[in-house]
Structure 1
Amino acid sequence: MTFKKINENEQNSIHDRSCIILVNFNNKEVAAIKTVSSFAGIKDRIVLTSKNGNTKIKDILDGNISDDNENTWSEKAIIFNNIPTNRVSGFLDGLKKMKIRRPLTAMVTEVSIDWKLDTLIYNLKEERKSIAKGQVVDHSK
C-alpha cells in the first residue's frame, strides 16, 4: 500500500454529499474550522465525537448517526467527502495559517465508506505512526 498526500489524492465521488466530518473538536476549534472551511468553499460540516464511533461513514453522510459508542478516544480528525483536491489543499493551508495543529485527515474512499468511524480513526492513527517510522501499514477492516 502506498500513501499519498491528501491534497494530491484525486478521487471519484463515492457519496454525493460534499462535506467535511469534524471529529472531537471543541466549540472554539469548530468555530475556527468553520471560518477556514468557508474560505475554502466548504459549507457542509458534520460535527461528531468518539461517542459516534459505532456509526458507519456512509450512515454519517446520510444523517443516520448513533451516539452509543462506549469506546472513547481523543484524537481529532477531519474527513473529507466529495471535496475537490484544490479545496482540500486550500483548507489545509488555511488551517496552517490559523495555526491550528493539523489533525488526522482522510478522504472517504470506496473502502472506508463502509467502515465505522472507530475503524477509520484507528487506521488513521496507525497510518500516522507508520509514516513517522517510514513504514507501510496494511489497513484493517
Structure 2
Amino acid sequence: MTFKKINENEQQNIHDRSCMILVNFNSKELAAIKTVSGFAGIRDRIAVTSKNGNTKIKDILDGNMVDDNEDVWSEKAIIFNNIPTNRVTGFLDGLKKMKIRRPLTAMVTEVSIDWKLNTLIYNLKEERKAIAKGQFVDHK
C-alpha cells in the first residue's frame, strides 16, 4: 500500500453528500472548524464521537448513526466526503493559519465507506505511526 497526501488524492464521488465528518471535537473546536470550513466553501458538517464508532461511514453519511460503542478513544479526525481537492487544501491551510493542531484526516474511499468508524480511526492512527517511522501498513 502507498500513502498519498490528502491534497494529492483524485476526487472520487463515492457518496453524493458533500460534507466533512468531524470526530471527537468539543463545541469550541466545532465553532472554529465551522468558521474555517465556511471560508473553504464546505458547509455540511457531521459531528460524531467515539460513541458512534460502531456505525459504518456510509450510514453516518446517510444520517443513520448508532451510539452504542463501548470502545472509547479520544483521537480527533476529519473525514472528507465528495469535497473537491482545492477546498480540502484550503480548509487544511485555514486550520494551520488558525493555529489549530491538525487532526487525523482522510477521504472517504470505495473501501472505507463500508468500514465502521472504529476501523477507520484505527487505520488512520496506524498510518500516522507508520509514516512517522517511514514504514508502510496494511489496512485491516
Structure 1 residue 37, shift from structure 2 partner: 0.3
Where in structure 1 do 4 or more consecutive aligned residues deviate above 6 Å?
none
Contact 2:23 2:76 in 1 (8 A): yes
Aligned-residue identity in percent: 87
Unaligned runs of 5+ in 1: none
Deviation per residue, 1:19-59 (Å, 9 max, x gap): 00000001000000000000000000000000000000000
- Aligned residue in 1 for 2:14: 14
- With normalisation by structure 1, the TM-score equals 0.99
Counterpart-to-counterpart distance in 2, 1:65 and 1:35? 25
- With normalisation by structure 2, the TM-score equals 0.99
What is the DSSP-based 3-state SS (H/G/I as helix, E as strand, rest coil) of the residue aligned with 2:102?
coil
Aligned-CA RMSD value = 0.4
Counterpart-to-counterpart distance in 1, 2:68 and 2:122? 18
The one-letter code matched in structure 2 to 1:59 is D
Unaligned runs of 5+ in 2: none
Counterpart-to-counterpart distance in 1, 2:18 and 2:26? 22
- Aligned residue in 1 for 2:38: 38
Contact 2:19 2:80 in 1 (8 A): yes
What is the DSSP-based 3-state SS (H/G/I as helix, E as strand, rest coil) of the residue aligned with 1:139?
coil
Aligned pair count reads 140
Deviation per residue, 1:60-118 (Å, 9 max, x gap): 00000110100000000000000000000000000000000000000000000000000
**Is 1:61 the equivalent of 2:61?**
yes
Counterpart-to-counterpart distance in 2, 1:27 and 1:112? 27
What is the DSSP-based 3-state SS (H/G/I as helix, E as strand, rest coil) of the residue aligned with 1:92?
helix
What is the DSSP-based 3-state SS (H/G/I as helix, E as strand, rest coil) of the residue aligned with 1:80?
strand
Structure 1 residue 11, shift from structure 2 partner: 2.5
The one-letter code matched in structure 2 to 1:32 is A
Counterpart-to-counterpart distance in 2, 1:114 and 1:91? 25
Matches within 5 A, 1:1-141: 1-140=1-140
The one-letter code matched in structure 1 to 2:17 is R
Counterpart-to-counterpart distance in 2, 1:11 and 1:93? 18
